Amino acid sequence: MAIMASVATATTLGKNRAHGSLTRPSIVSVGTVVWLSSELMFFAALFAIYFTIRSVNTTWPMPVSAKLHDAVKLDVPFDGAITIILVLSSVTCQLGVIAAEERRLRRSGPIFDITRWGLREWFILTLIMGAIFVGGQCLEYSKYVSDYQAGENGMTISSSPYGSIFFLATGFHALHVTGGLFAFVFLLLRLSKGRFTPEKITSTIVVSYYWHFVDVVWIGLFSTIFLIQ
């Protein structure tokens, strides 16, 4: 019974749950980092597919399909623009985390005074910037597919091996970004309920880890697919 009594449950832990003590790292953060390292291996598979297809094709960028002998023209400036927005959203995310660690949940000044923004304002801005990135990707996808259907140099997921890995790699990344957007919405909902407890700061930090991870993976994908080609 003595052992059972010392096992912490939801009722005994109260407000400090999930944050861990001062001498122990938060299990939520460590678990997230270990999970992110496994996510890295998921993207490793996608990178490996890309480099394999690249290595077995003597002409690169490879022709989009048998009937179209020219390679697809990637819209590098447009993608560069949405990449910059995604990288900047990592900065705003980190500013939100700094605000959270200083326990500034809401802004303490007028809405245009960004020096006094709180966690909520920074994360809503990050959410909007991430949504712009996903929207830009959708625009680009629709352009490639409609170009292909019009008989121009577009591509679809089934038009060629290049089209397959292009849409798989960027598409899985876009799904991750979308998942991150949902994480921001869920976190903002949690922040709107109850007090600003330490466990909410932990969640904020963990969501920011994920967002930075997705950002770094995109920098890798962007430089591989768009810059190096």
Which residues of this chain interact with another protein, rule CB under 8 A? 6, 8-11, 13-30, 33-34, 36-38, 40-41, 43-45, 47-49, 51-52, 54-55, 182, 186, 189-190, 193-194, 199
Which tokens in the block code for residue 49? 């597919």
Record the tokens describing residue 195, joined without a space. 């007090």
What is the residue whose two structure tokens read 């900047």?
A: 88
Cβ closer to another protein: 115 or 158? 158
Closest CB to another protein among 51 and 113? 51
Minimum CB distance to another protein, residue 40 (Å): 5
Round to whole Å and give the CA distance between 119 and 103: 8
Of the pair 19, 173, the CB lying nearest another protein is at 19
Nearer to another protein, 85 or 219 (CB): 219
- Shortest separation between residue 213's beta carbon and another protein, angstroms: 9
∠136-107-27 over CA atoms, to 5°?
75
User: Which residues have C-beta within 8 Å of that of residue 171, sequence separation ≥ 6?
Assistant: 141
Cα distance between residue 115 and residue 97, in whole Å: 14
Minimum distance from residue 229 beta carbon to another protein (Å): 15
Q: Is the link from the previous residue into 61 a cis peptide, with omega within 30 of 0?
A: yes
Indicate the residue among 45 and 227 with the shorter CB distance to another protein: 45
Given the complex with another protein, which of 3 and 150 has the nearer CB atom? 3
Contacts of 173 (CB under 8 A, 6+ apart): 43, 214, 217, 218, 221
Cβ 49 to another protein shortest distance, Å: 8
Q: How far is the CB of 45 from another protein (least distance, A)?
A: 7
Tokens for 158? 């089934």
User: What is the CA angle 87-78-93, rounded to 5?
Assistant: 15
Q: How far is the CB of 68 from another protein (least distance, A)?
A: 26
